[in-house]
Amino acid sequence: MAIAERRDPVPAPPAKLTIRGLRTRAARVPMRRPLATSGGTIAHAPLVLIDLETEEGVRGRAYLFAYSDLGARALRQLLAGILEMVRGDAVAPVAIAKKLHSRFTLMGREGLPTIAISGLDVALWDALARATDLPLTRLLGGELHAVPAYNSNGLGIAPPEKLADEALELLGEGFHAVKLRLGRKTLWEDVLATRAVRARIPAEALLMTDFNQALTIAEALARGRALDREAIYWIEEPIRHDDYAGAARIAREVETPIQIGENFLGTRAMAAAIAAGAADYVMPDLARIGGVTGWLRAAALADAAGIEMSSHLYPEVSAQLLAVTPTAHFLEYVDWAAPILARPLHISDGQAQPAEGPGVGLDWNDEAVARFALE
């Protein structure tokens, strides 16, 4: 527009949103397929639902996977305390993150505070996206497109014949890739489970594996070398999540790519892991990396290092974020929150389709939330 045509040279101020309140609810959602890992079995997904209220009436939503009922109660208390620190502040996620990081420095951020702050961050971005009537991906400057996904439901520690059947069922839900949990007593048992699944699924189907930190370095080297002969797509968290030197040795000596990242608590942990050469692939968790704000910084780290980046849990929001991640790799699909969502994430032909409505992709099924309420 030519300057001469402007009758009013002063642009209208952008709409400003102000934090008014935070409503949290907890739900204990039964899982369609209880998951047995080397670190224990989970049959219910304890979720904390967050509804951010603004003075302007726009709402922001997020949920957190709380790992246990105790985790859910603790996260709700933390969020209530955090609200007192940010009530009346502008809905400005980058500024809020900076403020809360400083407020939690003395107590320590690592652990539940980071998860609570991440949940608030997602709700703040959701409010911004709803206020501008855009899906998160487009608010961040991207275009909505389908992202490759693998089915991470099921395939826990179970007998090999059962696993082979289940792998086929999971592929039948619209996927070309599945993930098998490993970390049985012996190397041979892990190899047999892997072979049972690999033998039953199509040759072109990808098979990811996850040890959930079960092994020592020596055992990880032995099992990694054995798995190098079994056509595995990646080996996830073979050892303690924070032993980057150990993970680097495994990544060097095992041919199959090593995947880590769901336990990065903030982007500094991820930067340290990358600097140590601890993994071939990374997969930050939305709620541990710092919400949308943390994810964008993590995506820049992965891009600068030239490392493929996948997601961990939270498939609905992760689908929006992988669409703006330069080295986007795979979305981890779990259906754990699907029962309490008005519109669960859509999957077809091995791809997740990010929601096209305004926001991060979350709307509640309130009847289901009430049914599964956890006091």
Q: Tell the smallest beta-carbon distance from residue 237 to Mg ion (Å).
A: 5
**Non-local CB neighbours of 353 within 8 Å, separated by 6+ positions:** 146, 319, 345, 346, 347
Stretch that binds Mg ion, among 152-160, 168-176, 180-188, 230-238 (CB under 5 A): 230-238
Closer of 166 and 210 to Mg ion (Cβ)? 210
Closer of 264 and 372 to Mg ion (Cβ)? 264
Structure token digits, residue 227: 């798995």
Q: How many whole angstroms separate alpha carbon 313 and alpha carbon 337?
A: 10
Q: How far is CA 264 from CA 73, 278, 290, in A?
A: 23, 12, 10
DSSP state of 257: P
Closer of 283 and 299 to Mg ion (Cβ)? 283
Closer of 76 and 312 to Mg ion (Cβ)? 312
Q: What are phi and psi of 104, to 5 degrees?
A: -100, 5
Which residue's Cβ has the minimum distance to Mg ion?
210
Kind of pairing between the strands at 258-260 and 234-236: parallel
Q: Tell the smallest beta-carbon distance from residue 348 to Mg ion (Å).
A: 24
Residue whose pair of structure tokens reads 């899982």 in the numeric block: 31
* Residue 210 in the binding site for Mg ion (CB under 5 A): yes
Q: How many whole angstroms separate alpha carbon 86 and alpha carbon 306?
A: 36
- The residue count for binding Mg ion (CB under 5 A) is 3
Stretch that binds Mg ion, among 151-159, 210-218, 264-272, 316-324 (CB under 5 A): 210-218
Four-point Cα dihedral 134, 135, 140, 144, nearest 10: -120
Stretch that binds Mg ion, among 37-45, 209-217, 264-272, 291-299 (CB under 5 A): 209-217
| Site for Mg ion, residues 63 to 82, rule: CB under 5 A | none
| Site for Mg ion, residues 248 to 287, rule: CB under 5 A | 262
Q: How many whole angstroms separate alpha carbon 300 and alpha carbon 122?
A: 18
Residue type, 211: F
| Site for Mg ion, residues 79 to 118, rule: CB under 5 A | none
Q: Say if CB 62 and CB 123 are below 8 A apart.
A: yes
Stretch that binds Mg ion, among 44-52, 90-98, 147-155, 205-213 (CB under 5 A): 205-213
Closer of 150 and 372 to Mg ion (Cβ)? 150
Q: Tell the smallest beta-carbon distance from residue 288 to Mg ion (Å).
A: 12
Closer of 82 and 287 to Mg ion (Cβ)? 287
Name the site residues for Mg ion (rule: CB under 5 A): 210, 236, 262
